[in-house]
Amino acid sequence: MAERPSMQDPRTQYPAPPFARQRQQMPGVAGEMKPRPDHGEDSYVGSGKLAGRKALITGGDSGIGRAAAIAFAREGADVAISYLPEEEADAREVIELIEAAGHKAVALPGDIQEEAWCRKLVETTVEELGGLDILVINAGRQQYRNDISELSTEDFDRTMKTNLYAMHWIAQAAVPHMPAGASVITTASIQAYQPSDILLDYATTKAGIVAYTKALAKQLIEKGIRANVVAPGPVWTVLQPSGGQPDEKVENFGKDSDFGRPGQPVELAPVYVLLASQDGSFINGEVYGLTGGKGVA
């Protein structure tokens, strides 16, 4: 595993736009992106912060979920990842990385738009890992539409089910299995605070995730369980070239951040580790913005 220099200029630490045109069909494959995202495959080094823990991560095949899965395994956790069947190639790589870290990996292919599957994936995780004490609800659907007239009821429904309904179904199924000291982490977005005109449905769901998690945190702390939100800005994931953004925006993705580049998934992983671990024992109902300097207010 390569060692990173102890100090680097964050503006030039990772690739900056312009990027090549690279349209993919949804849901896309991370391995076909140019440049390929850094999820921590060769760079994340753990220190035992999650030793003995049992985690479920939705959308764990690529992007932020993949980075969290790699980090959790290298911090000592067994990890189950859910993903769409079409994402099997990416998911297989993550399973191998978790196992290479010496921990149990559980693959859960299925569509979280289906309530029955959301509940089943939780039950399978508990059976296979022998429990559940970290839940990362991260999977999301993002498909841009230039005008409100183009946003069909089917589009709107699929985004709501993937980003909001699934969050509720999975959390509802998981909480009864989670002991005091456990942690729930959801993934929102800067879109909850600074919505783009072409992401009406996506931005709406991300604002909903923030509100839902803050309310849930008030309930769960009575059980000794913490719940928090991570709200990223532009992060270089396969969500973008597979319909999440127009081609011209993908080519210049992240250019407007303070760094002049998008974030890489691995740069978010330490925050997920913090919120999952006992290091975050006094953090509850908070929103952690990782926006490249744009803030979440």
How much of the chain, in percent, has pLDDT values that exceed 90? 90
pLDDT number for residue 32: 86
pLDDT number for residue 296: 86
In tens, the pLDDT along 134-160 reads 999 999 999 999 999 999 999 999 999
pLDDT number for residue 25: 87
- Among candidate residues 83, 165, 202, 288, the one labeled active-site is 202
Residue 212 known to be catalytic: no
pLDDT number for residue 22: 87
In tens, the pLDDT along 264-287 reads 999 999 999 999 999 999 999 999
pLDDT number for residue 188: 98
pLDDT number for residue 6: 79
Fold adopted by 47-285 = Rossmann fold (3.40.50)
In tens, the pLDDT along 22-81 reads 899 888 888 889 999 999 999 999 999 999 999 999 999 999 999 999 999 999 999 999
pLDDT number for residue 133: 98
User: With bands split at pLDDT 50, 70 and 90, how would you rate the model's confidence at 5?
Assistant: low
State yes or no: pLDDT of 3 exceeds 90: no
State yes or no: pLDDT of 248 exceeds 70: yes
Mean pLDDT across the chain, nearest whole number?
95
| pTM of this structure | 0.96
pLDDT number for residue 271: 98
d(CA 280, CA 261): 29
